[in-house]
Amino acid sequence: MAHTEYDLCVIGGGAAGLVVAAGGASLGAKVVLIEKHLMGGDCLHFGCVPSKTLLQSAKVAHTIADAGRFGVEAQQPQVDISRVMGRVAEVIKGIEPNDSPERFRSLGVEVILGSGEFIGKDRLLVTERETSGSEVTGSELKEKVITARHFVVATGSRAAIPAIDGIDTVPVFTNESIFSIKEKLPRLIILGGGPIGMEMAQAFTRLGSQVQLVQRGPQVLANEDPELAEVVANRLRAEGTELLVGHKPLRVEGEAGDIRLTVQSPDGEEKIIKGSHLLVAAGRRPNVESLGLEAAGVKLERGRIVTDKRLRTSNKRIFAAGDVVGSYQFTHMAEHHAGVVLRNTLFRLPAKVEQRVIPWATFTDPELARVGLSETEAKAQGIAHKVYSFPFEEVDRARADGVTEGFARIITDPKGRLLGAAIVGPHAGEMIHEYVLAIAKGMKAADLSAIMHIYPTLAQINRRVADARMKEGLTPTARKWIKRIFRLRGN
């Protein structure tokens, strides 16, 4: 059996694996990358890219229907789901060459399309299969044993299917299949009120489906402060999405076109929800099966690979990165993990994962983005803090654009140092980065107040909410002198 030694052996060609492989090869390391399905992983084929492309088509449809408030004749959009999903496929196809085996081979990475299983603490048995393009298609070709100075497990995650009676007897969509539809989904039931569920609920509502979203817990977008999450929830309700919050799914039955989901309401009453299709968006499950992790001495906890802050597993020759590691299942977090792995493996630096300044966004309309501590977390941890908010309805550009829903919020310590920030409103995912930098650099709200922001822009809200802290921070003596200097009246 063939045997080859590498500096880095990367298992998984998603966001984390690709960055590790490309970075390692560019630094002169001998790298092998093993991918058993599709290069580019979940983000490219079933996650970030297709979902945001779908949301854009849905936004265009909504703009046409809502044009009347801008003085433009509105009309009911004629949505062709086949063409919408065709555009999704085109966008994926346009990005795909960046993640292709051919490109990574040109970078100096040996790419094997097949599967890998540890057969010892320092050995990986690789089964290479016949391929067509970037997809694994056919019969087994050969096996070989790979050894490496370091291994990196970056096999990603998949949709978790909840334990509901009958769920295995009915057709179910997940993020891996929903973007392949060709016809309208008349009545769509969505299980899960997290970011994926909320984004898909709004998208399909705007594209003409009747959508019912079932959330087991007491709040959609459960990781956000209730006031921010409610802004998004209210918009979805206003557009026609039915949100069944606090409803526990009990059982499901039926067939394609006739799905019946029995739920238990918060008061204990059972009722049946009827739909034509069912989409499960109830969390993610790490892909750790069939890797031989036990043979490698790699420990698991609640289905995830256990790592230290340097992303080393219980076998110090094996690192793990991306969704298989932690709860922050974002592409940008996976890319950050990749950088940590490279610094530890190739440069022998004790780099650690960032745990304080981690931004994220839910790309509904309005968007919801956050970084650092939330008000809820600050209270739960007993951290001394103050909260300041400012509404978009008082930002001139938001009025001009007709997007006045939502607000910005900052959390500071008693001295004004930024601990966290959140924005629910237009382009929140773009505007949050000012706070990401400010928190990472230990800045105060006063530092944002002192920075000039272009008028009229939505980003002015970042200065205006910081101004609220500055005004509160004025001492009585300072207020007195300001009044004298400018001959101000009142408080």
- How do residues 198-234 score in pLDDT, each as one tens digit? 999 999 999 999 999 999 999 999 999 999 999 999 9
**Domain co-membership, 131 together with 183:** no
What pLDDT sits at residue 487?
58
**pTM of the prediction?**
0.93
pLDDT in tens, 469-481: 888 765 566 556 5
pLDDT in tens, 254-276: 999 999 999 999 999 999 999 99
Taking all residues of the chain, what is their mean pLDDT, rounded to a whole number?
A: 94
pLDDT in tens, 75-120: 999 999 999 999 999 999 999 999 999 999 999 999 999 999 999 9
Residue 283 has pLDDT above 60, yes or no: yes
Residue 130 has pLDDT above 90, yes or no: no
CA 14 to the chain's CA centroid? 14
Q: Which residues contact 477 (CB under 8 A, 6 or more apart)?
A: none
What pLDDT sits at residue 131?
57
Structure tokens given for 384: 């001394």
Cα–Cα dist 392/407, whole Å: 5
What pLDDT sits at residue 470?
82
What pLDDT sits at residue 416?
95
Structure tokens given for 50: 């297709």
pLDDT in tens, 35-78: 999 999 999 999 999 999 999 999 999 999 999 999 999 999 99
Cα–Cα dist 134/128, whole Å: 13
Q: What angle do CA 358, 362, 364 make, to 5 degrees?
A: 160
**Domain co-membership, 266 together with 406:** no
How many domains, in total, are found in the chain? Answer: 3
What pLDDT sits at residue 483?
58
At 471, give phi and psi (nearest 5°): -65, -40
Residue 366 has pLDDT above 60, yes or no: yes
Structure tokens given for 221: 């977008």
Residue 320 has pLDDT above 70, yes or no: yes
pLDDT in tens, 210-220: 999 999 999 99
Q: Which residue, among 407, 409, 430, has the nearest Cα to 361 in the 3D structure?
A: 430
Give me Rg for the CA atoms of the chain. Answer: 25
**Domain co-membership, 28 together with 120:** yes
CA 121 to the chain's CA centroid? 33
Residue 133 has pLDDT above 60, yes or no: no
**Domain co-membership, 448 together with 398:** yes
Residue 2 has pLDDT above 60, yes or no: no
The angle that helices 226-239 and 195-206 make with each other, rounded to 10 degrees, is 20
What pLDDT sits at residue 134?
46
What pLDDT sits at residue 142?
84
**Domain co-membership, 374 together with 277:** no
Residue at a domain's end among 282, 311, 330: 282
What pLDDT sits at residue 439?
98
Who has greater pLDDT, 326 or 69? 69
* HSE-CB for 295 with a 13 A CA cutoff: 14
**Domain co-membership, 256 together with 290:** no
What pLDDT sits at residue 478?
54
Cα–Cα dist 412/378, whole Å: 10
Is 120 part of a structural domain of the chain? yes
**Domain co-membership, 417 together with 469:** yes
What pLDDT sits at residue 479?
57
Is 132 part of a structural domain of the chain? yes
**Domain co-membership, 183 together with 298:** no
Is 77 part of a structural domain of the chain? no
Amino acid at the residue 206: R
* HSE-CB for 382 with a 13 A CA cutoff: 0
Residue at a domain's end among 256, 282, 308: 282
pLDDT in tens, 369-397: 999 999 999 999 999 999 999 999 999 99
**Domain co-membership, 123 together with 225:** no
What pLDDT sits at residue 243?
98
Residue 485 has pLDDT above 50, yes or no: yes
**Domain co-membership, 455 together with 392:** yes
**Domain co-membership, 186 together with 134:** no
Is 78 part of a structural domain of the chain? no
Range of the domain at 422: 360-477
**Domain co-membership, 377 together with 434:** yes
Residue 491 has pLDDT above 50, yes or no: no
CB 230 within 8 A of CB 86: no
CATH number of the domain encompassing residue 120: 3.50.50.60
What pLDDT sits at residue 477?
64
% pLDDT > 90, the chain: 91
Give, for 398, the enclosing helix (H) or strand (E): helix 396-401
Residue 490 has pLDDT above 70, yes or no: no
CATH number of the domain encompassing residue 426: 3.30.390.30
